């Protein structure tokens, strides 16, 4: 009884600890929970520059009535630095031919200097500038003479702006060109630090500039000038208006208070609050939280504030970050009742889902709280996927973009945020919750749901069914199939795993056409890896759950949104039975799997006659041992190299080992069984029991050695691979020992001994000692095999004598 209890407790602890270990790999990445649709940082300026450039080219192209190609216009604007009467540039030549003095005067005022001067000026105004030498060329001086390079005066003599002035602008009859003068003048004043002039000019002329990238850029200079004149709140209003928020990046409730006092309804406040809450998330400082809460309470009471829900929900986020979940829930419930913008309301619902997912209530309450919001969120994500022009949402989600056949595809920040919230809800909320209450199958169901969110695009599936497959390479050099037919498929080139080293795009396509690609990891996402490493009992329970159809709305929803290919589940269960040597049960499941499915597995090409589990690889290059059996397991497997056939052969061998007619037959069957076990687990026929590199992470082999695993000390905790090997080799030894009972044939005895781990380890130790300097396990293994052959051959010669 005691031993039974011990075994049960051991099994329980092992399964929990194993889960914990796997869990470390499933942690979601950094993510800020409070998100109102504003990018936290980004390339606002770059995007504006790009937009302005496009707008500029379009304007001038249209101005000359398309008489000059667009590319030529671009070249004239951005590559001609000095303009004079003798120009050969087609754009300017055309203006001269037309005698367009208005446009020419504008361009003459700008094209009088090398733009590198301007870049140099910008650089000199930057805090990063460091003088490389003195103005007279001396390298050494007493720098830093005033300890602050920014205070050093910039030598404006290098600027040769002669023509650009307000008079030119005012005399210009063309309104569009006049607006362009405004921008150039603002720029000129700004970089000369003439901020007063900058402000005056915009306030006088700005009203006439229509909404455009040009206007945004003008406002950008205007805001900058205001800021430098100390008019911070006016600058804040300008920046909020054009959507440039980097100015608000400071984690300071006092700055917030100042803006609120001046303009309680400033649209930049949403961004500022978002930044504050997220900065608090990173660096929680209670005194700042207290100051913020006071301000938030005031703002909620302030009638001029049109967005009180923003402040209340921010308080809730801060309470949650301070681990005060109950208070957070209360504040969130209050914020739902207050006025707020659409984005604030969405954010409140997202937070409610996040908070609820970490509740510790009993099952039914937990599910009821989670279900409506979860359904809503997955709906939003599915809509995002349909809107996004990408067929590989998951890849885009993880921040890399697809190169080559697609062009660049990025997800919007909001879409990314939604996926990240779901990821947190699943990984940090639901999965640990259901594990805690012992409903493992629901944890799996949530992972399945998350996995399926990325595979919801029906168009992609249709595309895949038509067989229009293409390969493409990401920037990282990873090669994907497009569209992704197999779940989380990753393929690599057999001959050249790093095509990107040699100009990846072209070469990858070329190699792909040579048919040398192979599926490397199949079903390689968190959910599938989790399934592969789960205990058989958990998988069976999960499949039963899928088949049950679900009792509650949440269960039905989870099932409806799961990956439900029965082929996959039957094949996995069969393999798990096979790993436990329950071949009859395994065969029952394998029979239900379709051939089509088996052919698309990544391991399909490893299941071949060349990787025969009954072949004694270590002596195949020499004289083969022949099994003294009424049937030849080697040939039988070679005829049909499938898992199902392997199970049949192993069952037959087991039967012969028990009921064979002669002792020799019984011994040979035991030996062949041991070889089959050895080869199908750690040998060249590994594909029978494993799917890829993660094959060693199976829980199936860890139950007995769990106490070793639980030991935290580095030295004594063995590698997972070692645990697995240890377990399987014990089994091999058991059958090899059975075979050894028949000791009339000396060669056969030698073969059994060689398979026996004790002897193999002795050899291995010899090899490892000899090649101890080598860290390369594969190399040592190769040497080991050679040594085995040598040892065996020596004995073989001995035997012959």
Partner 1 sequence: MKKTHLIITAAAAAIAGAIIFLIVAQNTRKTVRTDIPNSIYYWNTRFRIDKNEAQFLKRNDIRRMYVRFFDVDLNREDYFHDTCAPVADIEFYREDLDLVDSLKVEIVPVVFITPAAIRHYRSFTDNLAHRIHAMCRRYSISISEVQFDCDWTASTRDDFFQFLKEVRPSLEGYFQKKIYISSTTRLHQLAQTPPEADYGVLMCYNTGDFKDFNTKNSILDVKDVKPYLKYLKKYRLPLAIALPTYEWYVEFDGNQKFVKLDSYFSRLKDTLEYRKIGENLYEKLDALAFPEGSTRYVRHDQVPAETIIATKQLIQKKYGKTAIVLFNLEYYQLRKYTEDEIKAFFD
Binding residues among 34-93 for partner 1 as defined by CB under 8 A:
41, 43
- Give every strand in the sheet of 490-493, ordered side by side: 470-473, 479-482, 490-493, 517-521
CB of 423 to partner 1, least distance (A): 15
> Could you say which of 88, 210, 773, 801 contacts partner 1 (CB under 8 A)?
773
Tokens 């029979």 sit on residue = 591
Least distance in Å: CB of 247 to partner 1?
6
Residue 754, C-beta contacts closer than 8 angstroms, at least 6 positions apart: 618, 760, 788, 791, 792
Q: Which is nearer to partner 1, 96 or 158 (CB)?
A: 158
Cβ 284 to partner 1 shortest distance, Å: 13
Residue placing its CB nearer to partner 1 in the complex, 41 or 167 = 41
**With respect to partner 1, which residue has the nearer C-beta, 150 or 261?**
150
Q: Which is nearer to partner 1, 224 or 268 (CB)?
A: 224
d(CA 660, CA 654): 9
Q: Which two tokens stand for residue 498?
A: 């790093």
Please say whether the beta carbons of 577 and 585 come within 8 A.
yes
Locus of tokens 């697609």: 406
Provide the minimum distance between the beta carbon of 476 and partner 1 in the complex, in angstroms, as a whole number. 11
Answer whether 774's CB lies under 8 Å from 780's CB: yes
Give the nearer residue to partner 1 in terms of CB position, either 34 or 735: 34
Count of Cβ atoms closer than 10 Å to residue 365 Cβ: 11
Bridge partners of 492, per DSSP, are 518
Please identify, using beta-carbon distances, which residue of 190 and 545 lies nearer to partner 1: 190
Binding-residue pattern over the window 434 to 473 for partner 1, x denoting contact by CB under 8 A: ----------------------------------------
Measured from the CB atom, the residue of 45 and 375 that comes closer to partner 1 is 45
The SS3 call for residue 238 is: helix
CB-nearer residue toward partner 1: 143 or 501: 143
Task: Classify the phi-psi angles of 581: left when phi > 0, otherwise alpha if psi is within -120 to 50, otherwise beta.
Answer: left
255 alpha carbon, distance to own chain's centre: 36
Answer for the pair 448, 531: CB distance below 8 angstroms, yes or no.
Answer: no
CB of 714 to partner 1, least distance (A): 4
Restricted to residues 125-144, the positions that interact with partner 1 (CB under 8 A) are: 125-133, 139-140, 143-144
Distance of closest approach, residue 719 Cβ to partner 1, in angstroms? 11
| Min dist. Cβ of residue 143 to partner 1 (A) | 7
Selected binder of partner 1 within 1, 4, 5, 29 (CB under 8 A): 29
The rounded distance, in Å, linking the Cα atoms of 405 and 480 is 11
The CB-of-42 to partner 1 minimum distance in angstroms stands at: 9
Cα(295)–Cα(259) distance, integer angstroms:
11
d(CA 667, CA 628): 9
Per-residue binding string, partner 1, 140-179, x by CB under 8 A, is: x--xx-----x-----------------------------
How near is the Cβ of 493 to partner 1 at its closest, in Å? 23
Residue 601 DSSP SS3: coil
CB of 295 to partner 1, least distance (A): 21
Return the residues of window 108-127 that contact partner 1 according to CB under 8 A. Answer: 123, 125-127
Measured from the CB atom, the residue of 282 and 506 that comes closer to partner 1 is 282
Round to whole Å and give the CA distance between 572 and 691: 10
Cβ of 673: how many Cβ atoms within 10 Å?
A: 28
Q: Which stretch binds partner 1 (CB under 8 A): 173-181, 403-411, 417-425, 767-775?
A: 767-775
Q: Which residues contact 251 (CB under 8 A, 6 or more apart)?
A: 275, 276, 279, 280, 283, 288
In the complex with partner 1, the residue whose CB is nearer, 29 or 595, is 29
- Helices 526-533 & 440-453, crossing angle to 10 degrees? 150
Q: Which among 498, 464, 482 is positioned nearest to 407, based on CA atoms?
A: 482
Q: Residue count at the site for partner 1 (CB under 8 A)?
A: 31
CB of 243 to partner 1, least distance (A): 15
* CA dist., res. 158 & res. 51, Å (int): 29
Smallest distance, Å, CB 571 to partner 1? 33
- Cβ closer to partner 1: 149 or 264? 149
> According to CB under 8 A, which one of 105, 187, 215, 228 is a site residue for partner 1?
228
Distance of CA 797 to the CA centre of its chain: 57
Site string for partner 1, 246-275 (x = CB under 8 A): xx-xx-------------------------
- Considering the complex, state which of residue 229 and residue 414 has its C-beta at the smaller distance from partner 1: 229
Contacts of partner 1 in 774-793 (CB under 8 A): 774-775
Reference 667, options 658, 678, 679; nearest CA is 658
From residue 304, give the alpha-carbon distance in Å to each of 36, 343, 614. 21, 20, 82
Residue 694-723 contact track with partner 1, rule CB under 8 A, x = bound: --------------------x---------
Q: Which stretch binds partner 1 (CB under 8 A): 243-251, 444-452, 457-465, 653-661?
A: 243-251
Structure tokens at 428: 């940090």
Residue 149: CB minimum distance to partner 1, A: 9
Least gap, CB of 671 to partner 1 (angstroms): 38
Distance of alpha carbon 713 from alpha carbon 719, whole angstroms? 12
> Restricting to residues 484-523, which ones interact with partner 1 according to CB under 8 A?
none
Q: Minimal distance in Å, beta carbon 296 to partner 1?
A: 24
Q: Helix, strand, or coil here: 641? A: coil
- Residue 788 Cβ, how far from partner 1 at the closest point, in Å? 24
378-381: list long-range contacts, CB under 8 Å, 24+ apart. Answer: 378/422, 378/449, 378/453, 378/561, 380/418, 381/415, 381/418, 381/419, 381/422, 381/453
C-alpha span between 15 and 13 (Å, rounded)? 5
User: Residue 72 has which token pair?
Assistant: 């030529």
If one asks whether residue 224 binds partner 1 (CB under 8 A), the answer comes out as yes
Separation of alpha carbons 257 and 86, rounded Å: 60
Among 568, 383, 593, residue whose Cα is nearest residue 488: 568
24 binds partner 1 (CB under 8 A): no
Sort 221 into a burial class: Cβ within 10 Å, 0-12 / 13-18 / 19+. Answer: buried
Nearer to partner 1, 208 or 286 (CB): 286
Q: How far is the CB of 108 from partner 1 (least distance, A)?
A: 30
> Token pair of 448, please?
């399945």
User: Should residue 287 be labelled a site residue for partner 1 when binding is judged by CB under 8 A?
Assistant: no
Which residue's CB is nearer to partner 1, number 128 or number 467? 128
Two structure tokens written together for 400: 């890399």
- 3-state SS of 721-738 is HHHHHHHHHHHHHHHHHH
Strand, helix or coil at 130?
coil
Q: Which of 282, 389, 722, 782 binds partner 1 (CB under 8 A)?
A: 282
Cα distance between residue 798 and residue 801, in whole Å: 5
Residues near partner 1 (CB under 8 A): 29-30, 41, 43, 123, 125-133, 139-140, 143-144, 150, 224, 227-228, 246-247, 249-250, 282, 714, 773-775
């Amino acid at each position: 009884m005691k031993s039974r209890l011990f075994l049960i407790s051991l099994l329980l602890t092992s399964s929990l600890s194993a889960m914990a270990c796997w869990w470390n790999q499933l942690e979601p990445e950094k993510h800020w929970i409070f998100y109102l649709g504003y990018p936290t940082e980004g390339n606002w300026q770059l995007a504006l520059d790009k937009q302005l450039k496009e707008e500029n080219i379009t304007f001038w192209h249209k101005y000359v009535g398309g008489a000059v190609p667009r590319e030529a216009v671009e070249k004239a604007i951005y590559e001609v630095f000095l303009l004079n009467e003798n120009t050969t540039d087609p754009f300017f030549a055309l203006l001269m031919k037309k005698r367009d003095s208005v446009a020419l005067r504008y361009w003459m005022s700008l094209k009088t200097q090398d733009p590198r001067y301007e870049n140099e000026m910008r650089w000199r105004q930057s805090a990063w500038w460091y003088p490389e030498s003195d103005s007279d060329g001396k390298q050494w001086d007493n720098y830093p003479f005033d300890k602050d390079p920014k205070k050093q005066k910039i030598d404006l003599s290098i600027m040769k702006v002669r023509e650009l002035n307000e008079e030119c602008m005012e005399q210009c009859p063309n309104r569009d060109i006049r607006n362009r003068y405004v921008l150039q003048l603002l720029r000129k004043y700004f970089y000369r630090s003439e901020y007063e002039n900058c402000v005056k000019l915009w306030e006088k002329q700005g009203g006439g500039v229509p909404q455009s990238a040009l206007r945004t850029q003008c406002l950008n200079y205007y805001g900058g000038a205001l800021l430098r004149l100390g008019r911070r709140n006016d600058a804040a209003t300008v920046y909020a208006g054009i959507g440039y928020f980097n100015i608000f990046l400071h984690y300071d409730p006092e700055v917030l208070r100042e803006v609120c006092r001046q303009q309680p309804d400033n649209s930049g406040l949403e961004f500022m609050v978002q930044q504050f809450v997220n900065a608090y998330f990173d660096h929680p400082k209670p005194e700042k939280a207290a100051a913020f809460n006071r301000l938030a309470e005031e703002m909620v009471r302030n009638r001029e504030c049109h967005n009180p829900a923003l402040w209340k929900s921010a308080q809730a986020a801060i309470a949650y970050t301070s681990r005060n979940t109950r208070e957070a829930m209360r504040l969130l419930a209050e914020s739902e009742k207050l006025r707020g913008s659409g984005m604030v309301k969405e954010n409140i619902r997202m937070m409610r889902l996040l908070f609820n997912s970490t509740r510790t209530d009993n099952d039914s309450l937990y599910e009821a709280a989670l279900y409506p919001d979860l359904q809503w969120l997955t709906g939003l994500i599915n809509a995002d996927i349909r809107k996004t022009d990408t067929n590989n949402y998951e890849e885009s989600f993880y921040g890399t973009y697809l190169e080559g056949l697609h062009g660049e595809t990025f997800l919007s920040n909001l879409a990314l945020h939604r996926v990240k919230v779901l990821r947190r809800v699943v990984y940090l909320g639901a999965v640990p919750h259901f594990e805690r209450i012992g409903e493992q199958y629901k944890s799996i169901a949530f992972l399945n749901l998350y996995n399926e969110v990325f595979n919801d695009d029906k168009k992609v599936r249709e595309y895949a069914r038509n067989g229009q497959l293409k390969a493409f390479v990401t920037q990282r050099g990873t090669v994907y199939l497009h569209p992704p037919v197999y779940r989380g498929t990753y393929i690599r080139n057999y001959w050249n795993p790093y095509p990107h080293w040699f100009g990846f795009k072209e070469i990858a396509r070329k190699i792909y056409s040579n048919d040398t690609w192979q599926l490397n990891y199949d079903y390689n996402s968190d959910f599938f890896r989790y399934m592969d490493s789960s205990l058989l009992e958990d998988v069976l329970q999960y499949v039963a759950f899928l088949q049950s159809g679900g009792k509650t709305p949440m269960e039905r929803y989870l099932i409806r949104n799961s990956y439900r290919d029965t082929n996959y589940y039957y094949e996995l269960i069969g393999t798990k039975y096979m790993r436990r040597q329950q071949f009859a049960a395994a065969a029952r499941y394998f029979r239900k799997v379709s051939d089509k499915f088996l052919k698309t597995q990544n391991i399909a090409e490893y299941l071949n006659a060349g990787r025969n589990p009954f072949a004694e690889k270590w002596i195949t290059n020499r004289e083969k041992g022949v099994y003294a059996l009424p049937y030849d397991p080697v040939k039988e497997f070679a005829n049909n190299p499938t898992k199902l056939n392997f199970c049949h052969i192993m069952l037959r061998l087991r039967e012969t080992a028990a009921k064979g007619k002669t002792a020799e037959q019984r011994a040979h069957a035991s030996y062949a069984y041991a070889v089959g076990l050895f080869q199908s687990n750690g040998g060249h026929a590994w594909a029978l029991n494993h799917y890829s590199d993660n094959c060693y992470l199976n829980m199936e082999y860890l139950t007995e050695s769990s106490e070793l695993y639980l030991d935290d000390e580095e030295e004594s905790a063995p590698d997972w691979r070692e645990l697995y090997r240890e377990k399987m080799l014990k089994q091999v030894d058991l059958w090899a020992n059975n075979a050894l009972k028949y000791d009339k044939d000396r060669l056969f005895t030698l073969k059994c001994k060689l398979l026996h781990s004790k002897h193999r380890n002795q050899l291995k130790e010899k090899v490892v000692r000899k090649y101890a300097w080598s860290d390369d396990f594969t190399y040592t293994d190769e040497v080991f095999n050679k040594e085995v052959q040598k040892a065996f051959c020596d004995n073989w010669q001995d035997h012959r004598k």
